[in-house]
Structure 1
Amino acid sequence: MVVAEKELGRRLQLVQGIHWLYGAQGDPYAALLRGHHGPDPRELYALNREAGPLWRSRLGTWVAARYATAAELLALPVPEGGPLPAAVAQPQVAVTWDQGLPAPDPADRPGADWVRALAGPACERLLAGLRGKVDLVAEVAARVPVEVLADLHGLTGADRERLAEACAAAAPALDAALAPPSYGDAARLPAAVSALRGLLGEAAVLRVVVEARVAQELIAGALHALVTGPGQWELLADRGPDGAAAVVAETLRHDPPVKVHVFTAAADTEAAGQRIAAGEQVAVLIGAANRDPEVFDRPDVFDPRRAETAGAGPRLLVPAPYGVPLEPFAGIVAETVVVALAAARPGLRAAGPAVRRPRTPVTGGLLTVPALF
């Protein structure tokens, strides 16, 4: 056990040190991963776009931050697993937590109507007791998805609490493979995965880890935009039934819950004039591509009316981390939360600045969004 702990600590320090070194030497992707750019990564997104449509980071990863190349890469076939070509050296991995877990089966994906039917009552239960100053992440964004997942899997009693604890401990997983988390977060991940195996069965683990965290970040991002943006609640009310869907869609563009999507090339391919060999790692910077000023007008402005004013416009880039699509679960749960809060607390306002976790390049890690409830 002591040897394993030392090895984990050594690996975390090594990867973090590599990110610091290359980032300090001007590699904008390494700088993004080291996670000390503050709460706003716009400058680093711009530097990654300026580096070229597809460029090779010193970390060994191909990086795409412009919209056109990102869309092209997301359309590539997804590798089906198996060993990587022996000749391809892989970038350092901070934490490996998904080894041996089977890929999600599309047939096990919950239907949209089922998710919507469970999300409404879950919101009612959790919002009923909220009063005064409330952290919208801890009390809403982190809890509603887990309540819905518990209902989807038929969990009752103490098992529901175990699911909540396991999802909380597994929350750093999406960021941890790229950016070293704290030692404590890294050490808790294996036990969280084991707990989810015991509660839900091995086949459900990847899907639940991704759905719980992505839904949390999507809800938190939408609520953060609503409570801090002047006139956003009024605009939501004016839009009627379509308002919540527009808020969630704009959140997927402006503050996506998956900002960096990394995958391994399944076969030799070409993109943006570059050859990517099978087995090489590719990072699509969703957060940068969905704010590409060559494609989106006023890209840094949160505007749920964007689709109306721009017509059909470019499609949003929405990846499927670990093969888990963001729809229907995350999108529908987020829409349901927005509708419920708009009805229960119209005009909800921020009660202080939001805080994001450091070293969360994938999710953005909204830690707290205080509001007066």
Structure 2
Amino acid sequence: MNNLGPAASLRLGSQIQAAKATNWLLGGLGDLLVQVENPKWRENPYPLYEQIRQKGPLYRGLSGTWATTSHALCNQVLRDRRFGVKNADGSPVTGGALGAVANTYPESFLDQDPPDHTRLRRLAAPAFNPKRVDGYRPRVQQIVDSLLDKIEGQETFDLIKDLAAPLPITVISDLLGIPDADRGDFAEYGARIGEGLSGVHSIRQAKDLIHVGSELVALFDRLLKERTKDPGDDVISSLATAVGEEKMTARELHGTAMLLLLAGFETTVNLIGNGVHALLAHPEQWAQLRDKPELAAAMTEEALRYDPPVQATMRIAHADIELAGETIKSGQLVGVMLAAGNRDPEVYPEPDKFDITRTGGPEHLAFSSGIHYCIGARLARIEGEILFRSLAERMPLLRQAGPLERRESSTIRGLRAFPVTAKFPAQRSQ
């Protein structure tokens, strides 16, 4: 299905139009979950999350999908093995146009329930053990310093294109063993796939997503063959060994490598963009970080809590489950609203306040929870901490220099463009 023929295009077009019509109808009838996808909430979805919260710990939309904004319930659903990411029979949950596109991609362990999830994650985990990840600190600092050296002295620069994207792309590409010549399109690929997670809205987008997927699969298949013959000290070489030992298939390697690549920089790009946006929108917090750059680690955690890159995820019940006084029937979907859980007033005092000195409360849900907890969380935290500290030390005058451009997605929250300047403001003539 890499090239959509007339019949497939017609079928996809019908699915897209049907989904749009259904969402328009349900949204008009007051389904708050459907309204999350409305572009009017893209700038600030948090008031809508609060409307859902006011309906109780569990909200059921008109489509029959449940959702929770409660931190405790989000955590419970993510940890309960009776909920999965696939149907109980192992078939994909996602249908319609998004499902048709997703089916052209190789599955990763993020798309799997145990035992396949356990097997595949275990093969990738050694690359992200604490000792190895901590060993990347000097390399991350070196990359940050190099990027800041390039942009220092410029009148304005784009925080996303010039800083937030190149840092994690370089780090995760080093870790995976991606040749320099193959890294150029990764930021754009990640942005397109991230926006697709909120749904496929046109035939053109569907074709684009399928093309991106096929390009990445071709890259990883080529690297698999190269590293089988000439292995190195990188993740793809380790996975190629696992393929040779029949611990995973080549298709599973493609899916695992794609997940690590995209998740490895997508989360961090948006952590940096959202975090700097929050800092500059709260000058007193930016001043605190400038005065005490050692707050950078705490700043990273607060940025992840306050405006997380991944806003929500979905689980499906594999059995009838009692939850918060309601019965979730087997086969019913539950939206786990991570960003809303991160602002749950039951566990975070003044949850809508951005406070880089915040202490207490449970761990935020930005990296999910349970068996699908983000495998690269430690690496993302290190990248965020080093970059925020370096900005405070080297660019204390940093401020926004033009309008933002947001990503067209409700699931992955981030910025496409963020013009900033670190120069003194021009003096007004008297």
Q: Which whole-Å CA distance do the structure 2 matches of 1:85 and 1:153 have between them?
A: 33
Q: Is the 8 A contact 2:320 2:330 kept in 1?
A: yes
- Change over 3 Å in CA distance of 1:116–1:228 after alignment to 2: same
Q: Which TM-score applies when normalising by structure 1?
A: 0.87
Q: Which whole-Å CA distance do the structure 2 matches of 1:154 and 1:91 have between them?
A: 32
Q: Is the 8 A contact 1:90 1:280 kept in 2?
A: no
The corresponding residue for 1:147 is: 170
State the SS of the aligned residue for 2:297. Answer: helix
Confirm whether residue 204 of structure 1 aligns to residue 204 of structure 2: no
Question: For 1:1-373, what aligned pairs fall within 5 Å after superposition?
Answer: 1-77=5-81, 83-85=87-89, 93-96=96-99, 97-99=101-103, 100-103=106-109, 105-109=121-125, 110-111=128-129, 112-130=133-151, 131-161=154-184, 165-181=185-201, 183-200=203-220, 201-202=253-254, 203-241=256-294, 243-307=295-359, 312-320=360-368, 323=372, 325=374, 327-358=377-408, 360-373=409-422
Counterpart AA for 1:369: F
Q: What do the CA deviations read for 1:269-296 (whole angstroms, capped 9, x no partner)?
A: 2211122233322111111121123332
Q: Which whole-Å CA distance do the structure 1 matches of 2:380 and 2:344 have between them?
A: 24
- Change over 3 Å in CA distance of 1:107–1:118 after alignment to 2: farther
Q: Is the 8 A contact 1:136 1:371 kept in 2?
A: yes
State the SS of the aligned residue for 2:344. Answer: coil
Residue 175 of structure 1: how far off its partner (Å):
4.5
Q: What do the CA deviations read for 1:130-175 (whole angstroms, capped 9, x no partner)?
A: 12211212222222111111111222332222xxx14422424344
Q: Which whole-Å CA distance do the structure 2 matches of 1:341 and 1:74 have between them?
A: 35
Residue 98 of structure 1: how far off its partner (Å):
4.4
Q: Which whole-Å CA distance do the structure 1 matches of 2:322 and 2:419 have between them?
A: 46
Q: Which whole-Å CA distance do the structure 1 matches of 2:123 and 2:92 have between them?
A: 34
Q: Is the 8 A contact 2:298 2:357 kept in 1?
A: yes
Residue 27 of structure 1: how far off its partner (Å):
0.7
Q: Which whole-Å CA distance do the structure 1 matches of 2:290 and 2:85 have between them?
A: 46
Q: Which runs of 5+ in 2 are unaligned?
A: 110-119, 221-252, 423-430
Q: Which whole-Å CA distance do the structure 1 matches of 2:53 and 2:315 have between them?
A: 19
The corresponding residue for 2:237 is: none
Q: Which whole-Å CA distance do the structure 2 matches of 1:369 and 1:46 have between them?
A: 27
Q: Which whole-Å CA distance do the structure 2 matches of 1:363 and 1:261 have between them?
A: 10
Q: What do the CA deviations read for 1:321-364 (whole angstroms, capped 9, x no partner)?
A: 99360512322222222122223212311112433234x11122
Residue 93 of structure 1: how far off its partner (Å):
4.5
Q: Is the 8 A contact 1:253 1:290 kept in 2?
A: yes
Q: Which whole-Å CA distance do the structure 1 matches of 2:163 and 2:82 have between them?
A: 33
CA-atom RMSD in angstroms:
2.8
- Change over 3 Å in CA distance of 1:229–1:119 after alignment to 2: same
Q: What do the CA deviations read for 1:58-117 (whole angstroms, capped 9, x no partner)?
A: 23321101223223222222767765459x996755513544423152442424214434
Q: Which runs of 5+ in 1 are unaligned?
A: none
Q: Is the 8 A contact 1:210 1:324 kept in 2?
A: no
State the SS of the aligned residue for 2:98. Answer: coil
Residue 126 of structure 1: how far off its partner (Å):
2.2
Q: What do the CA deviations read for 1:237-288 (whole angstroms, capped 9, x no partner)?
A: 33342x1111111111110111111122344322111222333221111111
Counterpart AA for 1:317: L
State the SS of the aligned residue for 1:297. Answer: coil
Q: Which whole-Å CA distance do the structure 1 matches of 2:102 and 2:82 have between them?
A: 17
Q: Which whole-Å CA distance do the structure 2 matches of 1:115 and 1:198 have between them?
A: 28
Q: Which whole-Å CA distance do the structure 2 matches of 1:27 and 1:222 have between them?
A: 30
Report how many aligned residue pairs link the two structures.
363
Q: Which whole-Å CA distance do the structure 2 matches of 1:83 and 1:250 have between them?
A: 34
Q: Which TM-score applies when normalising by structure 2?
A: 0.76
